[in-house]
Amino acid sequence: MQKFEFLEYKIKSKIAHICINRPPINAFNIQLLDEILNALKLAKNDANVRVVLIKSKLEKIFCAGLDLDILLDKPILKVREFLERLYVKLWDLQYNMGKPTIAVVNGSARGGGMTLAISCDVIIASENASFGYPEINLGLPPAIHFIHLPKIVGRYKAFELLFSGRVFDTKEAFSIGLINKIISKSNLNKEAENMALIFSKKSANAIKLSRAAFMRANDFDYRRSVANAVEDFCNATVTPDAQEGLKAFLEKRKPKWD
């Protein structure tokens, strides 16, 4: 079995558990993202795995998004290298997974953490979870979310969430159709496993063929749109406003924009 530094991977009752563990906030660096991609590949290629759970080891954090060092004072090619992993490779893996994936959100999900959750087929969350797209507050476009969020919650609600950058709770997330269920914190993992067991008892071939048809019907143009989102985000990252926004966030001050 492959060893990981920033996540735990185990199989139980034909369910693969991918548990992220990079304190203090599960922020994405290249190694963590590569480990998630590799864990997904293991699950995809293992005939014994019927369902995949993606969750967090940290008590109040699902994933806080990108490690900002990846974006600060980096050439555009380095930024693109990372974003192609997060946007393109993650999506390709999920698109072709052939088995259901469930995001189990136990706390804060922001930015890239939202990207990870949304890449799954189902999202369930604890009552104390929260969500947000803070990129605009850093002078960056939440470009990847322009693609999927309007389809889920509607154009006008998506615009408000993405361009305000505000945090919202599970009740609002559920009311707009962004998550499937709100579960008490103590029962979250049990409920996730119960849902996974329901999927795992179906015909593996029926799930694989049906899921592929579902993905084609709902996400056929997504791949092309993702490539555009990578370019949009990369181009924005190297602008003076974005670099100032990143530095201001790290220095815990307000950005100085014109």
Tell me which residue of 108, 112, 93 sits closest to 32, measured CA to CA: 112
Tell me which residue of 125, 123, 116 sits closest to 187, measured CA to CA: 125
Better-predicted residue by pLDDT, 20 or 86: 20
pLDDT classification of 68: cutoffs 50, 70, 90: confident
d(CA 75, CA 238): 7
Pairing mode, strands 7-12 and 15-20? antiparallel
Measured torsion, CA atoms of residues 89, 94, 95, 99, in degrees rounded to the nearest 10 = 150
Tell me which residue of 5, 101, 109 sits closest to 56, measured CA to CA: 109
Average pLDDT over residues 169-189: 97
The mean of the pLDDT values for the chain is 93
Q: Is the dihedral of CA 166, 238, 149, 60 positive or negative?
A: negative
Q: Is the dihedral of CA 225, 227, 52, 58 positive or negative?
A: negative
The pLDDT score that the predictor gives to residue 258 is: 75
Residues 6+ apart with CB under 8 A from 97: 40, 43, 44, 52, 211
What count of residues does the chain have?
258
Query: What number of other Cβ atoms are within 10 A of residue 212's Cβ?
Result: 14
d(CA 6, CA 222): 29
Domain edges within the chain: 7-205+221-250
Average pLDDT over residues 79-97: 90
pLDDT classification of 254: cutoffs 50, 70, 90: very high
pLDDT above 90: residue 56: yes
d(CA 86, CA 91): 8
Tell me which residue of 175, 179, 184, 168 sits closest to 130, measured CA to CA: 168
Total-model pTM: 0.94
Query: What number of other Cβ atoms are within 10 A of residue 11's Cβ?
Result: 16
Question: 7-205+221-250 sits in which CATH class?
Answer: alpha beta
- For 111-120, the pLDDT digits (tens) are 999 999 999 9
What's at 83, amino acid-wise? Answer: L
d(CA 180, CA 73): 39
d(CA 123, CA 192): 9
Query: What number of other Cβ atoms are within 10 A of residue 98's Cβ?
Result: 17
